[in-house]
Amino acid sequence: MTDTDPHALLAQVESEEAELILPRFDVTDAWALGCRMREAAVATGLPIVIGITLGEARVFHTALPGSSADNDGWLDRKTRVARRYGRSSFGVGLSFRATGKDFDTSARLDPTLFAAHGGVFPITIEGVGVVGTVGVSGLPQAEDHAFVVEHLRAWREATTRDVS
């Protein structure tokens, strides 16, 4: 995924946001998903931080070799965007760009606290709504987003099979 055509990317991200709704998600699920993501990142040598929240609580966090405190800052800022808008941080940024606007000036939010860059996805439970977020920081924004989507999709498929 590249972020050169915001309209095409926006359509793809909106489709992912509609698709990735979970049947359930709790703190035990957060730990299991976070560990799976960490194992995959370690196996491929990704220099990322991974964070999962439920409500305001950070229920999973890990930092891998090559990541830094700057990545934690980006993760926090992207998480605030996903939580505030109830959608992926990448989708929010693309929505602004698709209408010719700059998030940092048009959103009227403090850019030191909010970043509409790819990497954080809302955790949405069917029939409930957004209950948390899952995100990464350390790669280019489209790659951060794709990593989260890949793992959230696999988690959804696994938990949907478990519920059936």
Residue pLDDT, tens place only, 65-105: 999 999 999 999 999 999 999 999 999 999 999 999 999 99
pTM: 0.93
| Residue 47 or 5, more confident | 47
pLDDT (0 to 100) of residue 7: 82
Q: Token pair of 56, please?
A: 């305001």
Count CA atoms within 13 Å of residue 44 on its CB side. 9
Please report the domains of the chain, with CATH numbers, ordered by start residue.
6-163 (3.30.450.150)
Residue pointed to by tokens 């960490």: 38
| Residue 4 or 156, more confident | 156
Q: How far does CA 3 lie from the centroid of its chain? A: 16
Q: Is residue 3 pLDDT above 70, yes or no?
A: no
Q: What kind and span of H or E run contains 53?
A: strand 49-54
Q: Is residue 4 pLDDT above 70, yes or no?
A: no
Q: Is residue 63 pLDDT above 60, yes or no?
A: yes
- Residue 66's SS3 state is coil
Write the secondary structure of 2-23 as one string of H (helix), E (strand) and C (coil).
CCCCHHHHHHHHHHHHHHCEEC
Q: Give, rounded to a whole angstrom, the gap between the first and last alpha carbons of the chain.
A: 32
Task: Tell me which DSSP letter residue 78 carries.
Answer: H
